[in-house]
Each structure stands twice: as structure tokens, then as C-alpha cells.
């Protein structure tokens, strides 16, 4: 796969995610895709497989998180880097304005792994805690 093909693959994946098109997402990612999200918030952790990746992005869209590509480049045929700005506002007014670097690993013509690096993690964690409240667990603690 050439650098231009790697870039085209990532663009197709981004377009599929923006449209919420699960079938197009499946066509762009490996069956064992991993999407690593850093932080100490409810959505942090590694999403495994196309279904978890799609569910993660549906949650972001539902809460109004918007992503704008600042720069996109192929390091080589197996690695694409994307600089993006993520913005949004939680229901209680907590704002998200984050510069993020995503590294896409491509194997066998599909996206196999995405790892996100956040410019300033603390405000991102605050936003996601405000936007995604955990449900209460009643009676789970003993005296």
C-alpha cells in the first residue's frame, strides 16, 4: 500500500464515521481493530472491534462532539497521522476544545489500530465526566 492509498483509507474511515455509516466503517477497519482513547473519564480505554469503535463514535456524535482535521499526512505506507481539533459543550456548560494527534496503523489494507494523544488531558477528562454521567449503583457498598 502506498502513502496515497493509506491517506485515502483514513479519509474514507473519517467520512464513514462522520456519516454514522457502520457498513462503510466495517469496510475500512480490520476485524480486530483497536481504538485507544487516553484519559481518566467514562469513555477512556481501548475500543476493540468495529462494533465498539462505532458505538464510541455514536456516543461522541450524540453529545455534539465535533472534530475538525487540521493536518493529515502519511509517515509511510503503514502509518498515517492526523492532527485534529475536537470541540463540544456538555449539558452543564463544560466546554471541550482539544488539540489531538491520532496515529493510524494500517495492516493488510485496513485500519488495524488508532491511538489518540491529547494535548491537555485534564480539561478533556472534565468535559467527558460532565457529558457522560455514570448511572447510580444502588446498595452496592456495605457499611
Model pLDDT for residues 12-27, shown as the tens digit of each residue: 999 998 888 888 998 9
Helix (H) / strand (E) element for 98: namely: strand 95-107
Query: Are 29 and 49 in contact, with CB atoms under 8 Å apart?
Result: no
Q: What CA–CA distance (Å, rounded) separates 18 from 85?
A: 14
**Reduced to 3 states, what is the DSSP secondary structure of residue 137?**
coil
Helix (H) / strand (E) element for 124: namely: helix 121-131
Q: What CA–CA distance (Å, rounded) separates 31 from 63?
A: 27
**Reduced to 3 states, what is the DSSP secondary structure of residue 20?**
coil
pLDDT at 75: 92
Q: And the C-alpha cell for 37?
A: 482513547
pLDDT at 138: 65
- 93, pLDDT greater than 90: yes
Q: Please return the burial class of 35, using the count of CB atoms within 10 Å of its CB with bins 0-12, 13-18 and 19+.
A: buried
- 143, pLDDT greater than 60: no
Q: Please, what CATH class does the domain formed by 3-131 belong to?
A: alpha beta
Query: How long a stretch of residues is the chain?
Result: 143
- Where in the chain are the domains? 3-131
- 76, pLDDT greater than 60: yes
Q: Is the pTM of this model over 0.85?
A: yes
Amino acid at each position: 500500500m502506498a502513502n496515497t492509498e493509506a491517506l485515502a483509507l483514513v479519509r474514507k474511515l473519517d467520512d464513514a464515521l462522520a456519516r454514522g455509516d457502520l457498513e462503510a466503517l466495517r469496510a475500512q477497519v480490520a476485524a480486530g481493530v483497536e481504538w485507544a482513547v487516553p484519559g481518566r473519564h467514562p469513555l477512556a480505554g481501548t475500543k476493540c472491534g468495529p462494533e465498539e469503535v462505532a458505538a464510541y463514535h455514536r456516543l461522541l456524535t450524540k453529545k455534539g462532539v465535533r472534530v475538525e482535521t487540521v493536518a493529515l499526512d502519511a509517515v509511510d505506507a503503514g502509518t498515517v497521522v492526523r492532527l485534529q481539533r475536537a470541540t463540544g459543550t456538555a449539558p452543564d456548560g463544560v466546554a471541550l476544545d482539544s488539540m489531538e494527534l491520532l496515529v493510524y496503523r494500517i495492516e493488510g489494507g485496513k485500519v488495524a489500530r488508532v491511538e489518540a494523544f491529547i494535548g491537555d488531558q485534564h480539561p478533556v477528562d472534565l468535559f467527558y465526566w460532565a457529558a457522560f454521567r455514570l448511572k447510580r449503583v444502588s446498595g452496592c457498598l456495605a457499611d
